[in-house]
Structure 1
Amino acid sequence: MAGGKETPRQKMIGMMYLVLTALLALQVSNTVLEKFIFINRSLEHTVSETNTGNSNLVSRIQKQVDESGNRKDDAAVLQTAREVRERTQQIIAELNQIKADLVQQTGGFGEDGVTPVNINDEEVLANLMINKKKGEELKAQLNDYAAFLQQKSGVKTDPIAYDGAEHPIFANDPNQKSKNFAELNFGQTPLVAGLATITQYETEVLMREQAALDELARKVGAEDVKFDRVVPMVLPNARVVAAGTKYTADMFIAASSSSITPDMYVNGKKLPVGPDGFGKVEFPASASSYDADGLAKQTYKAEIRVTLPGGRDTTYTNTIEYFVAKPVIQVQSASVQALYLQCGNELNVQVPALGTAYQPNFTADGASVLQGNKPGIVTLVPNAKNVKLNVSSGGTFIGSENFGVRLVPKPDIIPTDGGRELDQKQGIKAAQLGRIVMRADADASFKEFLPKDARFRVTGYTVYLARGNRPVANQKVNGPEVNLRQWAAQARPGDRIVIEVTEVKRMNFRDEVLDVPMGTKTFTLPINE
């Protein structure tokens, strides 16, 4: 049903009216009937308020038309509003006259001047509304009025009066659906309930009129956009300036209308519009090529679509030009131009031009990628001779950086006595045979760059006690350390301790143990007198 919005009070009264109407079928006492007096008075109060409000609405339309210069289209709207108000007053007057006739024919009002004498009289109401066909006449008047409103305002307006078979509530009720409008509303109905029913139809009339007048009011000044929100705007040439340089900007007034809700688009994509009327333009800036200065000229189409107060749609467009600066990728690392194979090469990759908008994501060809715990920190673990690091931010590709990959430098294998290095030229005495520790020292530069990947350990070698061209004794060792004290008694001057290192391991940054391809390294310690 098209009509004005019901207030909570109207909804409550309407609900009570329906409940009490249902109780009539139970042949209830005068106590219940007296409640209809309250319902009718409340409905009449609502009618009075709404009637005054609708008159004020026509006055506001008159004021709008006067302020707009009494233009032809606006004057036509005002004339239509006056016709609606006049027709409504005729309907309300007719309904009030029916109520007055019913009260007069049933004995008038009591001593208080507002309560009918015979509140439970049913004959007079039924005779007038059913037998004399006043009810069917009223139905036609009400529904003709609804059609009149729709024709004048363009607002879809449902009928006001229904027969039982058409009524939204009673259409499926076997006891009611066969009744016509008059029988449904006024048959076997006490006077006071009939009065409340007629007043209820007055509220239906006024609510529909209110909806029609609201629509007519919106049509006044249809070609006008009234700018009632004015704010100062500043467009700086740049938001970030270096110390000592000039800050330059254009300042102007921007105005908008609170009565219009615009739809805003960038390249056809709808934008969110805030309560202040500002659209939020946000998209990733990108370009496929740049000029010699590292800039790429780009444009986008801005559209603002508004429905003017009269219902006409209007679109304002502009092409906005901007420049995309080629982002410079800065890579900080212990060894920027080369990475080490199968090592955790930590890089700090930044794009200063993006500032706080930098939201990096990395992929790589020829390496696995481990994201760091801070923006821009990434660890590359190469598995090929060359690595290509791809940098994106917020889903937009920024660029790539290429790196060569170096093999991990082989460690120096050094025989020691657990502390100092053993002298392979000077040798040792037989009585000094004891603890030997084979140490694997990482390349100093590699260890400085990647200390977590520079952990080497000798894990396999064979040690011989050699005399002439043949071994006298030998021992296989799994680990860096061996004790040769048991050879001291059989060792002679001129013998040799020969060490053949066959296995070296490296622990990487993830504490994984990897083989180091060393081949076989041989060390000889002569035994002296």
Structure 2
Amino acid sequence: MAAYKETPRQKMIAMMYLVLTALLALNVSKSMLDAFIVVNESMESTIGNFSSKIEDVHAEFNKQYKLNPNKIKPFWDKAQEVRANSQDLIQYIDSIKYALIIQSENKIKTVDEAKSTLLKDIKSKDGYTEPTRFFFKNSEDGSKGASGALRLRIDEFRKQTLAVMNEPENSDRIGLLTKGPYYDADGMEQSWEQHNFYYTILAADVTILNKLIGEVQNAEFDVTSYLFSSVTAEDFKFDDITAKVISQNSYILKGQQYEAEVFVAAYDTKQKPEVYVLQGVDEINESNLSRATPIEGKDGVVKLNFTSSTEGTHKYAGLIRIVNPEGEKVDYPFKSEYIVGPPSLTVAATKMNVFYIGVDNPVSISVPGMADELINPTISAGKLSRNPNGPGWIVRVETGTTKTLISATANYNGTRLNMGSSEFRVKRVPDPVAKIARQKEGSIDKNTLIAAAAIIPSMDDFEFDLNFIVNSFTMVTMLNGDFVPKTTQGNQFSAEMIEMIRNARRGQKFFFENIQASGPDGSKRTLNPINLTIN
């Protein structure tokens, strides 16, 4: 529950009361006095509305108590105690209010007359002598008058009510604070009695007393709601109930059993619901209810078990019949379906439809409707291991292998089942494309060629991130009518090659041939030639 809060209406009335009290201290005019009467009438209306809200909470509390007296009784007893204390204090405040009116208005002689007379019709409503005498008698602080007795009754009610909520006595959770401190206009400290009733006019006193009644009602409503909410879902039944179906597996294998739990979302474990289930239908109605199978539940839960004799989608429907908070039997329909399929294995290469020699081939292995940790895959040729950097598996195959087979078994309900196998072709990694400055042919600026100064093997349109190493190559160009070849080791241009390129003329051609490279699988490759013309 939240801490004590006044409603916007109560805050408005309290603010109007403070303003009007200040105006009264400055010799209030008739129009201001009439405005004060309006505030009191609003307060009386609030009291009536609050009474209806409190009755509604108690009515719901009583309904739940009648359904489950053993479970609700501890909370219900406390609510009754708070209600008795609240009614007693409200009656006491009313008795003070009527006694004050009788003492202040000579024409009113009985409590019934005080009750039936509107504040606006009381001639002495702007008087303060008799009200002050009534509330203070012969005490300066009000302790010997009606105000002192009222404060004691309010303090006792606060103590009793806070005890029900297990709150300390200094808590502000329900309002009705009398400890202060309070100060007058000159900053002098006052008692609660002086602050509220010392030389205040009758109209103000009546409004203050009605405001106190509203605070008592608010405290009762707050505490009763707190007690009602303290009764958890398992202690009483909810009016809004939805049937739920939770299956252990929505996809099962042929020959296995489908298992599901059907229960009421906010259910009472002491309930014994009547459950009827019929397979092959979309709903339970009057025409097929007689064919439905009754199933006994335990602790408000019913477990369904169907044998999966045929493959495909199987649907079923049913209803749960329970007693609602009004004591009436209510049906809550439900329906669901499940799939029966043959044992199957799903293996998909993550990047390509083959496995490549000498590289990490990522692959996913799964069985529909089954957790990965229950699957045990094997490979006929090569190595299969968990991916250390993420989900899935890694396959590595070596030279000399042309195909490999991945098979899997799975632990299904304690039984090891063969889930099937898939065959994969094994290929070597394709040759990379040799390039210089991202070109393998065409025109090139002399300075660009010198700046590149190396042959870079590129794996165009290949998903694997692989590195080939260029071991050697030959550069050929024509000088003075003769082809001049220059060979070097590695992928970098030699100093002699760079000097020949630097002295090249526009239109001179350079051929890079016999490019030898090594792949990650250890194989030796001869890469494509590169033909470039100086522009």
Match of 1:160 in 2: 176
Which residue, 114, 131, 137 being the options, matches 2:149?
137
TM-score computed with the length of structure 2 as normaliser: 0.50
Deviations 1:204-231 (A, max 9, x none): 1111122222334456699735376342
Matched, 1:190 2:201: yes
Partner of 2:51: 51
What SS does structure 1 have at the residue aligned with 2:37? Answer: helix
Alignment of 1:221-240 (within 5 A): 224=235, 226=237, 229-233=241-245, 235=247, 237-239=249-251
SS for the counterpart of 1:37 is helix
Give, in whole Å, the separation in 2 of the partners of 1:259 and 1:35: 54
Structure 1 224/162 Cα, relative in aligned 2: closer, same or farther at 3 Å? Answer: closer
Residues 20 and 36 of structure 1 are in contact (CA less than 8 Å); yes or no, is this contact kept in structure 2? yes
Equivalent position to 1:98, from 96, 99, 103: 96
Q: Deviations over 1:77-134 (max 9, x none)?
A: 5444333323222211221122222223332589974422122212122222234422
- Equivalences for 1:73-88 in 2 at 5 Å? 74-75=72-73, 77-88=75-86
Do 1:40 and 1:199's aligned partners in 2 also have CA atoms closer than 8 Å? yes
Deviation at 1:474, TM superposition (A): 4.2
Greater Cα radius of gyration, structure 1 or 2:
1
Change beyond 3 A, Cα 1:67–1:176: farther
Which residue, out of 366, 382, 387, partners 1:353? 366
Secondary structure, aligned partner of 2:126:
coil
The answer to whether the Cα contact below 8 Å between 2:250 and 2:369 also exists between their aligned partners in 1 is no
Is the contact made by 1:462 and 1:501 (CA closer than 8 Å) also made in structure 2?
Answer: yes
Task: Give % identity.
Answer: 21
SS in 1 for 2:47: helix
Q: Could you tell me whether the CA contact under 8 Å between 1:74 and 1:219 is conserved in 2?
A: no
Counterpart residue number, 2:394: 400
2 and 200 in structure 1: CA distance in 2 versus 1, 3 angstrom threshold: farther
- Which residue number in structure 1 is paired with residue 126 of structure 2? 120
Matches within 5 A, 1:323-402: 328=347, 330=349, 333=352, 336-338=355-357, 350-351=363-364, 353=366, 391=387, 396-402=390-396
Quickly say closer, same or farther: Cα 1:239–1:126, change in 2 above 3 A.
same
* Distance in 1, Cα, partners of 2:528 & 2:90: 109
Check whether the contact 1:88–1:209 (CA below 8 A) recurs between aligned residues: yes
**Secondary structure of 2:392 counterpart:** strand
Q: Is the 8 A contact 1:106 1:124 kept in 2?
A: yes
Q: Which residue of 2 aligns with 1:179?
A: 190
Which amino acid counterpart does residue 337 of structure 1 have in structure 2? Y
Task: State the secondary structure of the residue aligned to 1:351.
Answer: strand
Residues 238 and 247 of structure 1 are in contact (CA less than 8 Å); yes or no, is this contact kept in structure 2? Answer: no
User: Does the 8 Å contact 1:47/1:202 carry over to 2?
Assistant: yes
Q: Is the 8 A contact 1:328 1:352 kept in 2?
A: yes
Q: Deviations over 1:250-292 (max 9, x none)?
A: 35521231899xxxxxxxxxxxxxxxxxxxxxxxxxxxxxxxx
Shift of 1:182: 1.5
Aligned: 1:8 with 2:8: yes
Q: Which amino acid aligns with 2:356?
A: Q
Q: 1:448 to 1:42 in 2, by over 3 A?
A: closer
Q: 1:503 to 1:60 in 2, by over 3 A?
A: closer
Report if aligned partners of 1:329, 1:351 keep a CA contact under 8 Å in 2: yes
Distance 1:63 1:460 in 2: 99
Q: 1:82 & 1:7 partners in 2: Cα distance?
A: 24
| Structure-2 change in CA distance of 1:475 and 1:12 (3 Å) | same
Moved more, 221-230 or 39-48: 221-230
Match of 2:34 in 1: 34
Query: Separation in 2 of the partners of 1:410 and 1:46?
Result: 87
Distance 2:527 2:10 in 1: 92
Structure 1: give runs of 5+ residues left out of the alignment: 261-324, 359-386, 412-445, 466-472, 484-498, 507-515, 520-529
Does the C-alpha gap of structure 1 residues 475 and 138 become closer, same or farther in structure 2, counting only changes over 3 Å? same
The alpha-carbon distance between structure 1 residues 399 and 185, as it changes in their structure 2 partners (threshold 3 A), is: same
| Native 8 Å contact 2:363 2:393 kept in 1 | no
What's the CA shift for 1:198?
Answer: 1.2
Q: Distance in 2 between matches of 1:25 and 1:351?
A: 85
Deviation sequence 1:324-372 (CA, Å, 0-9, x none): x9985625648732379xxxx9x8x5525288999xxxxxxxxxxxxxx
The match for 1:461 is 476
The letter of the residue matching 1:123 is T
Q: Does the Cα contact within 8 Å between 2:431 and 2:527 map onto a contact in 1?
A: no
Task: Name the counterpart of 1:493.
Answer: none
Aligned-partner Cα distance in 1 for 2:90–2:433: 105
The whole-number CA distance in structure 2 between the counterparts of 1:164 and 1:126 is 20
* Kept after mapping to 2: 8 A contact 1:160/1:204: yes
* Residue pair 2:96, 2:146 contacting (<8 A) in 1 also: no
Indicate which of 179, 182, 203 corresponds to 2:214. 203
SS in 2 for 1:160: coil
How far does the alpha carbon of each residue in 1:433-474 deviate from its partner, in whole angstroms, 9 at most, with x for none?
Answer: xxxxxxxxxxxxx99989xx99x9x99425478xxxxxxx64
- TM normalised by structure 1 equals 0.50
Contact conserved, 2:44 with 2:210, CA < 8 A, in 1?
yes
**Residue 149 (1) aligns with residue 168 (2):** no
Give the aligned residue type for 2:264. A
Shift of 1:176: 4.7
Q: 1:232-311, aligned counterparts within 5 Å?
A: 232-233=244-245, 235=247, 237-239=249-251, 249-257=258-266
Deviations 1:41-70 (A, max 9, x none): 1112222332344345445434433322x4
User: Shift of residue 147 of structure 1?
Assistant: 0.5
After TM superposition, give the deviation of residue 11 of structure 1 in Å. 3.2
CA distance in 2, matches of 1:59, 1:113: 32
| Cα distance change of structure 1 residues 47 and 390 upon mapping to structure 2, 3 Å threshold | same
Q: Which amino acid aligns with 2:29?
A: S
CA distance in 1, matches of 2:37, 2:81: 33
Letter in 1 for 2:79: A
CA distance in 1, matches of 2:234, 2:528: 88
Q: Deviations over 1:13-36 (max 9, x none)?
A: 233223333434444422222211
Is contact 1:81-1:216 (8 Å) kept? yes
Distance 1:200 1:192 in 2: 12
Are the counterparts in 2 of residues 88 and 205 from structure 1 also a CA contact under 8 Å? yes
